[in-house]
Amino acid sequence: MNKKILFSAILSVLLLAMGCGENPFDPDGWKTKSYENFTLRWRVQGSNLEVELQGPSTGWIAVGFAGSYMMHDSNIIIGAVSGSSVSIRDDFGVDSNTHVSDSSLQGGQQNVSDKAGNEGSGSTTISFTTPLDSGDLYDNVLAAGQSCTVVLMCGENGNDNLDSDYRTIVNTSITI
Ligand SMILES: [Ca+2]
Ligand SMILES: [Ca+2]
């Protein structure tokens, strides 16, 4: 392979990666996906997944991993910030439009730690850590390098009720 072809090949890979909205070049292992005014960052640390989500609402925001359509069968982590108070809950998408706390499902439990968040003008950011394999039926098993669907959602501005209807819901995919 001559240098010109090699350069083209590298450039193509870079453009492909950028085109997907994922940035694979963070030295600390963070990956980023920006999609429809949401920005999702994640990295694998040992047996855990560290996540930071920014969404376009001062109400609740949520990310769900490895579901099928919309919320269905997705391991959803939902959070809201009000002043210094941050509430983040480990949920599951029981159908395409409905998510409930894992704690309300038989055998389900909360598997989110390192909860933090803040609210800016028109947006909310939450961060948390969750096991790649919690053993909970309502948290889908993930692995580094795995391609996985994500659902991104938010509620109306100012609505921090985690059980209220979404204003926006989008599906995309990432590589863990
Ligand atoms: Ca759980
Ligand atoms: Ca869950």
What is the CA(10)–ligand 1 centre distance, in A?
40
CATH superfamily of 23-175: Cellobiose dehydrogenase, cytochrome domain (2.60.40.1210)
Q: Give pLDDT tens digits for 85-119.
A: 999 999 999 999 999 999 999 999 999 999 999 99
Please report which ligand is nearest the Cα atom of 112.
Answer: 1
Domain map of the chain by residue range? 23-175
Output the pLDDT for position 38: 98
What is the CA(139)–ligand 2 centre distance, in A?
4
Between 18 and 25, whose confidence is greater?
25
What is the CA(71)–ligand 2 centre distance, in A?
12
State yes or no: pLDDT of 133 exceeds 80: yes
What is the CA(167)–ligand 1 centre distance, in A?
24
User: Which DSSP string corresponds to the chain?
Assistant: --HHHHHHHHHHHHHHHHHTTEE---TTS-EEEEETTEEEEEEEETTEEEEEEEES-SS-EEEEES-SSTTTT-EEEEEEEETTEEEEEEEEEEETTEEEEGGGSTT-----EEEEEEE-SS-EEEEEEEES--S-TTS----TT-EEEEEEEE-STT---TTSPPSEEEEEEEE-
Residues with a beta carbon under 5 angstroms from ion ligand 2:
75, 90, 92, 102, 138-139
Query: What average pLDDT does the chain have?
Result: 91
What is the CA(76)–ligand 2 centre distance, in A?
6
Output the pLDDT for position 176: 97
What is the CA(82)–ligand 1 centre distance, in A?
24
Neighbours of 34 (CB within 10 A): 14
Please report which ligand is nearest the Cα atom of 107.
Answer: 1
Output the pLDDT for position 10: 54
What is d(CA 51, CA 36) in angstroms, rounded to the nearest whole number? Answer: 18
150 DSSP β-pair partners:
65, 172
What is the CA(18)–ligand 1 centre distance, in A?
32
Output the pLDDT for position 26: 76
pTM value?
0.86
Biggest CA pair distance of the chain: 60
Q: Which amino acid, 149?
A: T
Lowest-pLDDT choice from 9-18, 71-80, 165-174: 9-18
What is the CA(93)–ligand 1 centre distance, in A?
12
